[in-house]
Amino acid sequence: MFTLLTVRAARTRIHSQAQRLEELAGQDMLTGLDNRLRFTDIATREAARIHRTGEESSLILMDLDRFKNVNDTYGHPVGDEVLRKAAGVIQSNVRDTDHVARFGGEEFIILLPGTSTDGARVVADKVRHALSECSFGPPTENLHITASFGVASLSYDRDATPDAGCPVEHSSQVDRAYQAADSAMYHAKRNGRNRVEVAPV
């Protein structure tokens, strides 16, 4: 009887630890946001949903401007604090139904279900303004951060529909939207930073 109870307790602990590891596998440890892997899964499911419904959804990709200078000037602990603060600013300026992730380094991505690129541009500009208004305490009171944004549609491209009988590659749809947002973001960088650019549809 004792052995059976011990085995059951061990199984419960293992199951609990497995669940926690699964959660951690999808979480960025520094900011607490979703990581790239979990976000891609969420975005792929959203692509499948809008393929069925015909609704619009959009991606916003953003990159903190000249972030290397922050680390070089103030050190990596301050750089980490800037990333955490940026994550908080983004989350406080989007809806509960939107999804925010740290995509890597100083790059963040936002999925806005049921939102056109015009609507996403408004959201991106709201986040951009909020970031530029961030203030930091001593010894970083002179630190100001800005970001460049690229907006792209996640909506299903009917012209890219595979032949009849072939499955729709929703992950490819997400990849195309990400690439379009990335291109728009770098266009924002080239045009002076601290701005929003929308990818052509």
Kindly give the interhelix angle for 76-92 and 67-74, rounded to the nearest 10 degrees.
140
Q: Any catalytic annotation for residue 106?
A: yes
CA 113 to chain centre: 13
DSSP annotation of 164? T
**Residue of 70, 97, 89 whose CA lies nearest to 31:** 89
Do the Cβ atoms of 110 and 59 come closer than 8 Å? yes
- Which of 46, 56, 106, 197 is labelled catalytic? 106
Rounded Cα distance between 116 and 159, Å, is: 19
Residues serving a catalytic function are: 106
